[in-house]
Every structure is written in structure tokens, then in C-alpha cells.
Structure 1
Amino acid sequence: MKQKMANNTVATLMMIVVISLAMAFAEAKWGGSVEAKKETKPSERVTNLQFYFHDTVSGKNPSAIRVAQAPDTEKSPTLFGALLMADDPLTETPDPDSKLVGRAQGLYGSSGQHELGLIMAMSFAFTDGTYNGSSISIFGKNPALNPVRELPVVGGTGMFRLARGYAIACTHWFDVSGDAIVGYNVTVIH
């Protein structure tokens, strides 16, 4: 009973925060190059990508599943110690039926004992257009209840080989089950 109450409390708090802090994520073409800025070398390019991450933990066909947890995870209000493996679709708009531009594959875990915080290790593998076959790697802390989060881009493949940069994540939609749609605006130097 306590476990169910803790899970419901976390989910309700997350939903209240997300709804109260929800921000419109600007519609834009999902990828494009811009002129290199001063912090880049003349041979480097800066690419801006915008897409939506669809994380589904509920239902018969989840895109993220719990693969491990600590003995006391279920007693924790933040589910500290839960580890999930994900293969989430990346789409052009927040509509789950919009154009698929790639997949987010990797893992994330609840790393905060006192506040909800995820540690993410993800590869965003692109399957559309110019970026088809290329990927970027994200690794860092994701304070999921913050309306806007910044995560580091630590590498890439294909067109994004030796990439660095940052990703701005904004929760577009969140459900008490834990399902979420998150808008990503990524700046990649490569």
C-alpha cells in the first residue's frame, strides 16, 4: 500500500509541476545547419535539430522498460535506483503519428534520493533525410521536473562524428503513468 501511495504521489507531483510549468515548444524544421559561431573552428559546422522524444512506460507495448532496481526502490518517493532501457521514437512534431526522424536508444535511471533526477545515457540515432545513419550521444543529469533542462552532447557518429554541444529538453506532455513527450532542441558542433 505504501509503495502504491509513493508511486501515485510522485506521479501526481510530476503531473502538477509539468502542467503548471508547461511551455509551448516552438514548431520548426527538425534539422538545419547554421553558420559556425566564434567558439568553433573554421572547418566546423553548427547544426540545430528539433524533434520530439516519446517515452512510453505503460501499456502492452512500452518503449521503455524497467530492467533493474535497488531493494528499496519501491519505498522511495523518487524511485531511486530504478533503471530503464529505452528504444523511444523521435518524431518531427509532438504528434506520435508525425514523421519518424529517429530513435532514442539507451538507458536512464532515477539517480536522486531527495528529488526526481534521471541520469541519461542515450544515443539519438537518426533515420531521416540528410542525417540518416548519423547519431548523437547524450550523457548527463536530467532533472525531469524542471520545465527546461540542459543536457550535454558528448559525441556522435556519421555526419556528427566528434560532435559536442548541448540539448535543451522541455516536457511537452506527461501522464501519471509515467509516459511523456519531450521536445528536444539540440545544438551540435561537428
Structure 2
Amino acid sequence: MDMKEVMLAILCGLLLCLSTLPTHSAYYTEKLNHEEMKEKVTELHFFLHDTLSGKNPTAVLVAHSNNTNGDDLKSTTPFGSVYATNDPLTEGPELTSKVIGNAQGLYVSSGQDTLSLVLYVDFGFTTGEYNGSSISVFSRNPVTEGDRELAVVGGRNKFRMARGFANLKTQYLNVTNGDAVIEYKVTVFHY
């Protein structure tokens, strides 16, 4: 063995020894005192504007079924269609009302006989006391029912560990193009 091979063998041996040394970390968890955590109940009231028509739609078709049934394709939301949304949330039913946030997510047209959606939407608030906070809804939405209820399944920032329900009422629906204004009255339980 020449000197280079000896040095290389020693270096490899040192690296092997160093790689087996135990490592220590400062990982730890700090538990919150449950008695200090007070559950809050927040009531929210706003309007969602879902626009499928025009130059600047807030909901767009991203996938659809390959169903060739002509009757199904005449609907603005045919069965199996998936839409991505970025709908404005306002204080009042008019689109000119103060914008308080937006609803981003997806919905799937899941009703074969009636207009029913399954939706996942994150309602992000951009003004006021809840600026930077959001609630998440994941639920079935039977659109043709006048009053309906959806599940609040989570949240972030001021709505951490959120759960609750959202009562919906359609204020406006254009059956030709699918544009809608939906009133939301939400009860959120959070910490």
C-alpha cells in the first residue's frame, strides 16, 4: 500500500467512526394547561359571491367527466364537474358591499338528479378582528334546498381547532349561467 491508500483508509475509518456517534437534539414539546384554554364561540355573517360567467369568473371548471349524455351537459354544473373557486366574501348581499375576505377551494358537482355539491372551501378573512384567520368547510351542499347546513371542520390563527356549522341560504341564483350569492351564518367553536 502506498501512502495515499493508507491515508484514504484512515480517513474512511474516521468518517465511519464519526457517523456512529450518538446525536443529541433539543427537541421537546410544551404542553398547554387545558384549564387555561377557554373555548370561544364566534358568530359570523357574510355573503359569498360565486360567479361562473363573464370575463372574470370567481369559479372555473378544472375537470369534468367524459359523460356524453347530452342532457347532463346542458347544466351549468354537470355531474362530475370540478370547480376551483376564489369567491369574494362581503358584508352585504351586493357585490359593492365591503369585501371582508375570500373563499378559496374546490367543489364537485355530485348530484345526478339534483344540483348538489361536495365542497372544500377555506374562508380567509382579510379585514377587521379576524384578519389573517380562516375557517375551513368540508361538507355536502344540497344547493336546491332553501336552507342548508355545512360542517366547519377546522381553522387557523384566531380560529385554531375550529369546529361548528354554517347555515346557508341562497340569496340569488341565475340558473342559466350558475352565478349565485349565498348568505352564510356561521357558528364557530374555537380556542
Q: What is the TM-score of this pair, normalised by structure 1?
A: 0.76
Q: 2:180 — aligned with what?
A: 180
Question: Whose Rg is larger?
Answer: 2
Asked if residue 72 in structure 1 is aligned to residue 71 in structure 2, the reply is no
Secondary structure at the aligned position of 1:98 is classed as: coil
> Cα distance, 1:50 vs. partner?
0.2
- Alpha-carbon distance in 2 for matches of 1:74, 1:157: 42
Q: 1:147 — aligned with what?
A: 146
The 5-angstrom pairing of residues 74-153 of structure 1 reads: 75=70, 76=72, 79-153=78-152
Q: Deviations over 1:53-93 (max 9, x none)?
A: 00000001100000000001763266110100000000000
> Cα distance, 1:42 vs. partner?
7.7
Q: 1:30 — aligned with what?
A: none
Contact 1:65–1:84, Cα closer than 8 Å, also in 2: yes
> Cα distance, 1:102 vs. partner?
0.6
Q: Which runs of 5+ in 1 are unaligned?
A: 1-40
- Alpha-carbon distance in 1 for matches of 2:47, 2:178: 16
Identify the range of structure 1 (76-85 vs 104-113) with the bigger mean alpha-carbon deviation: 76-85
Q: Which amino acid counterpart does residue 110 of structure 1 have in structure 2?
A: S
Asked if residue 157 in structure 1 is aligned to residue 152 in structure 2, the reply is no
- Aligned residues with identical type, % of pairs: 51
Q: Deviations over 1:116-161 (max 9, x none)?
A: 1100000000011110000000001000011111000000000000
Q: Deviations over 1:7-64 (max 9, x none)?
A: xxxxxxxxxxxxxxxxxxxxxxxxxxxxxxxxxx981010000000000000011000
Tell me the C-alpha RMSD between the 2 structures: 1.6
Q: Which has the higher contact order (CA 8 A, sep 6+)?
A: 1
